Amino acid sequence: MSDAAQPTAAEVRAAAEAVKAALDRHLEAVEHRTGDDDPAVYDAFNELAAAAEAYDEQLYDRYDEVTPFEIPASDDSLPPYSGPEEPNAVSVLIRRDYAVAQTQRLLAQAQRIADLDPDSDERSATAGVGGGSVHAAIGVLFGEYEPDEIASRHKEFGLEEGDSTLWVTAADDLPEPGEWLTAPFDQADPLRVVCRFDVSSVFDDELHELGGREEA
C-alpha cells in the first residue's frame, strides 16, 4: 500500500477510541440485559466486532501491527430464529473434526479391539487393520466407542482435535423412523437453530456458545 493510501496516525487513534467506546456500550448492554435474547446485547456485540475489525485493519495498514484478539464474524453465521415458539421435537447435529496425528497408535488401538473380539460381525472389516489400513482402523474405532468417548480419549487413539460444533434445531414433529437416514444432514436449517455450541482454536480452545440468538 502506498503512503498516500495509508490511514493517518490520527485516524488509527480515532479507530482505537471507537473500540473503547464500543466496549463500554457492550458492557453496559450486558449489565442491563433483559434476558438471553436481549437485542441490545446482540447489537452491541456486532458494533464491537465491527469497530475492532476496523481498528485492526487500520493498525496493520499504518504500522504493520495486529491486535492480539479475534472476534468471529457474526452477521451471517446465525440468522434470526424463525422456528416454532414451542417445538414438539428437536434434532441435535454434531460435527467433530480430527487429524490422524499418530497412525501407528491408531492402528494399534484398532488391532487391540479386533483381537478382543475376533469372531464378531466386524471381522471382515477389521481384516485390513494388521496390514496398516487407516480406513479400517477408523471404522473399528468408531464402531466400538461412542463419539463422546472418542472425544474424551482422542489422544489415546492417535487423533488430534480440530473444530467442533453442535446445533440444536427445532422441529414441528418427530420424523418417521428411517425418514431422513439417506441424507441426514441435508435439512439442517440455520433459521431453526435454538442454540449452538462451537469449539475452535479461534476461540482460544474455549466453548463458544451461540444461544438465544444473542451472538453468532
- Does residue 22 sit in the same domain as residue 45? yes
Confirm whether 177 is domain-assigned: yes
Confirm whether 73 is domain-assigned: no
Burial 62-101 (b: 16+ CB within 10 A, else e): beeeeeeeebeebeeebeebebeeebeeebeeeebebeee
Domain count, the chain: 3
Domain of 169 in residue numbering reads as: 79-100+158-216
- Does residue 214 sit in the same domain as residue 171? yes
Low-confidence ranges of the chain (pLDDT < 50): 1-3, 74-76, 122-126, 205, 212-216
The angle subtended at Cα 41 by Cα 39 and Cα 46, nearest 5°, is 95
In this prediction, residue 185 carries a pLDDT of 86
- Does residue 122 sit in the same domain as residue 206? no
Integer angstrom CA distances of residue 95 from 148, 167, 200 = 11, 9, 12
In this prediction, residue 97 carries a pLDDT of 95
- Does residue 164 sit in the same domain as residue 92? yes
- Does residue 10 sit in the same domain as residue 92? no
- Does residue 47 sit in the same domain as residue 89? no
Handedness of CA 136, 125, 141, 116 (dihedral sign): negative
